[in-house]
Amino acid sequence: MAITIAPGSSTVPTNPVPLVTVVSISNLKMLIPVPANSTYVSSSASGGTFPGSTALVGSNVVLTVPGPIPGGSTYTPPAVTINVTANAPGSVTSNYAGNSYANPGMTFTTTLKPAIGSNFNAATACYPSPSPTLTTTTVT
């Protein structure tokens, strides 16, 4: 069965704090766990404002968008299609990974420009709280 997850559009902020400007974000990684009650077969990325790719890392499908995505711009990540085989009758439910900053569901590098000084990169991590259900399929 194919599960397609199409993230909505987002806007990269321009000035999240006074005297600092977001130049861009890059190396965006979104983690989507392989659903319980299923076995991973393959995955792919399609569409979106910026191209991306998928890979299985551990038990997560990782969508990577290299960027850079300019500060102040609105972008849509690629849709992710995960092909799985159901292991038994029941539900196959997908959601985003992550439950803390130590175990994030999304990471990226933010390039910042301070009012004084040179640009610098900041590792950024976030997670959904609570993690929304993205899809549910009943297997009979």
Tell me the per-residue pLDDT of 30-59, one tens digit each, with 9 for 90 and over: 999 998 888 999 999 999 999 999 999 999
What span, in angstroms and rounded, lies between the C-alpha atoms of 102 and 92?
Answer: 26
- Are the C-beta atoms of residues 61 and 55 closer than 8 Å to each other? yes
CATH of domain 2-139: 2.60.40
Using alpha carbons only, give the angle 80, 24, 62 rounded to the nearest 5 degrees. Answer: 25
Task: Give the CA radius of gyration of the chain.
Answer: 17
0.75 exceeded by the pTM?
yes
Q: Which residues of 34-43 are buried (b: 16+ CB within 10 A; e: fewer)?
A: bbeebeeeeb
Using alpha carbons only, give the angle 65, 26, 116 rounded to the nearest 5 degrees. Answer: 170
Q: Which residues are 44's β-sheet partners?
A: 81
Confidence of residue 140 (pLDDT cuts 50, 70, 90): low
Domain boundaries, the chain: 2-139
